[in-house]
Amino acid sequence: MQYRHFDRWGFDTSIFGIGCMRLPVIKSEDGKEQIDEKQAIEMIRYGIDHGVNYIDTAYPYHDGQSEPVVGKALKDGYREKIKLATKLPVWQTKKYEDFEKILDEQLQKLDVDYIDFYLLHSLSKSTWEKVKKLGVLDFLDDMVKKGKIKHPAFSFHDEFDVFKDIIDSYDWHMCQIQLNILDENNQAGVKGLKYAGSKNIPVVIMEPLRGGKLANVPQDVSQIWNKYSMKRSPVEWAFRWVYNFPEVAVILSGVSNMEQLKDNLEIFHHATPNSMTPEEQKLVHEVQMLYNSKIKVRCTNCRYCMPCPSRVSIPYIFSLYNDASMYDDFPAYKDEYKKLIEKGKDASNCVQCGNCESVCPQSISIIDHLKEADEQFKRVL
C-alpha cells in the first residue's frame, strides 16, 4: 500500500480508502436489501489488515445501515488502526441544535468516542448558505473543543466558484470532491484540487470510477486502452490518472465484493504521484476526447429552461441521454426514464412552445433533442 504524508495532519493516509456506500447486500425476507454484515465486516477488516487506514461512511448510506456495520467492523482493535470519516446530513438540519443531536446519534451508531474526519455532506451553494446561517462553523469549532471530532471537513457537489468560496470561508482540515477522467473540468475539478492544494488542504477523491461506469467501458474505449504496451484494466487507468496528482490524499473506492477489494489493493500498491508518462497522459486524453464525442447535448445544467410549463424535466433528460450515449448503454438508464414517464415529466410531454430555447444560453435546439432522447429511450422500454 502506498501512503501520502501531509504535514497538516501529522500522519500518513493510505492512498486507497474504503468507501462504505456500496457494501455487499442481501435480500431480506420482505424483499428489501440489507447489508451482508458478515461479508462487509470481513472485507473492511481485510482491507485494514492489508494497509488501508481510511474508512469513509455517511449518515444516509445504505438507508442508515452503513454506520452501524462500520462500527461493528471496527471492534476488536480495528478502530485504533484507522482514520474514520463520516458526514453530517446538512439537508436534515433546521436549527443549530440539530447539528450536535445528529452527531451524537452517529457516534452512538458507530459506537465510537470521536470521529476523525467529520464532513458537511454534499455542500452546494444553497446548502452551504443555509448551514452557514445556522452557525455550522461555530458548531465545528465547538465539537473539536469537546473532542467529538478531530478534523472539520466537507464534501462537495457544485461549481468551482462555490467551492472556492467555501474553501476561503474556514480553516478546513480536508475537503472531498468528485474527480475522474470525465470530470476533469466539472464541479470543483482539477482546478479545485489545485486550489485546495495551494491552501495546504488535503483532498479526498470520491467517484474516481464515476459510479463504476469507467470500469465497464465500450469497445472503442477499450481499444484505445489496449494500444498501450503495458496492459492495464480500465479501472487501473482511471485510478492511475487520479493518484498521479500529488494533492490527492485519499482515493475512495466503494467496493462491493472481496474480488473488487483485492483488485484495488493490488492497483494501489503502486500508486505513486507524478508517475504518468507523457505517452500515458496522451492516451488518457484520447479516451477523454472519445467519451466527449459521444455527448449528444451540450447542456450545462444551468436550468434557465426550468420550470417547463409542460413539466418536462429537461436538464435531467439530457443528462440521462448523454450518459446512455457515452457508455453505449441505453438499457441501463431506461428505468430512470420510465420514472419520468410515470410522473408525466418525460420528453413526450413537450408541446414545442419554444420557451426553453428562447432563454438557453447555449443556444441548444432543445425541442429536437428532446424528441431524439424520447425516441431512443422508448426503443428499449
- Is the pLDDT at 151 greater than 90, yes or no? yes
Instruction: Tell me what the mean pLDDT of segment 113-135 comes to.
Output: 94
pLDDT of residue 9: 80
* pLDDT one-digit tens code per residue, 198-238: 999 999 999 999 878 888 888 889 999 999 988 899 999 99
**Is 140 exposed, middle or buried (CB count within 10 Å of its CB: 0-12, 13-18, 19+)?**
buried
pLDDT of residue 218: 84
Higher per-residue confidence, 304 vs 370: 370
Instruction: Tell me what the mean pLDDT of segment 86-109 comes to.
Output: 96
- Is the pLDDT at 264 greater than 90, yes or no? yes
pLDDT of residue 5: 85
Question: How far, in Å, are 50, 207, 210, 253 from residue 269 at the CA level?
Answer: 10, 19, 21, 14
| pTM attached to this predicted model | 0.85
Task: Give the Cβ contact number of residue 83 at 10 Å.
Answer: 21
pLDDT of residue 304: 81
Instruction: Tell me what the mean pLDDT of segment 297-301 comes to.
Output: 78
Confidence tier at 56 by pLDDT (50, 70, 90): very high
- Going from N- to C-terminal start, the domains of the chain cover 3-286, 314-378
Tell me the sheet residues that pair with 34.
Answer: 26
Confidence tier at 287 by pLDDT (50, 70, 90): very high
177: enclosing H helix or E strand: strand 174-178
CATH assignment, 3-286? 3.20.20.100
Confidence tier at 10 by pLDDT (50, 70, 90): confident
Which of 21-30, 110-119, 269-278 bottoms out in mean pLDDT, i.e. has the lowest?
A: 21-30
- Is the pLDDT at 302 greater than 80, yes or no? no
pLDDT of residue 229: 87
pLDDT of residue 238: 93
Q: Report how far residue 321's alpha carbon sits from residue 152's, in angstroms, rounded to the nearest whole number.
A: 38
Question: How far, in Å, are 132, 153, 177 from residue 129 at the CA level?
Answer: 5, 16, 18
Sign of torsion, CA 273 277 278 281?
negative
Provide, rounded to the nearest whole percent, the portion of the chain with pLDDT above 90: 74
- Is the pLDDT at 197 greater than 80, yes or no? yes
Q: Quick one: CA torsion of 172, 173, 175, 180, rounded to 10 degrees? A: 140
- Is the pLDDT at 104 greater than 80, yes or no? yes
pLDDT of residue 297: 87
pLDDT of residue 32: 80
pLDDT of residue 6: 73
- Is the pLDDT at 83 greater than 90, yes or no? yes
pLDDT of residue 31: 73
**For all residues of the chain together, what is the average pLDDT?**
92
- Is the pLDDT at 250 greater than 80, yes or no? yes
Instruction: Tell me what the mean pLDDT of segment 92-106 comes to.
Output: 96
Tell me the sheet residues that pair with 176.
Answer: 155, 204
**Helix, strand or coil, per DSSP, at residue 16:** strand
Instruction: Tell me what the mean pLDDT of segment 106-115 comes to.
Output: 97
* pLDDT one-digit tens code per residue, 307-365: 999 999 999 999 899 889 888 889 999 999 999 999 999 999 999 999 999 888 778 89
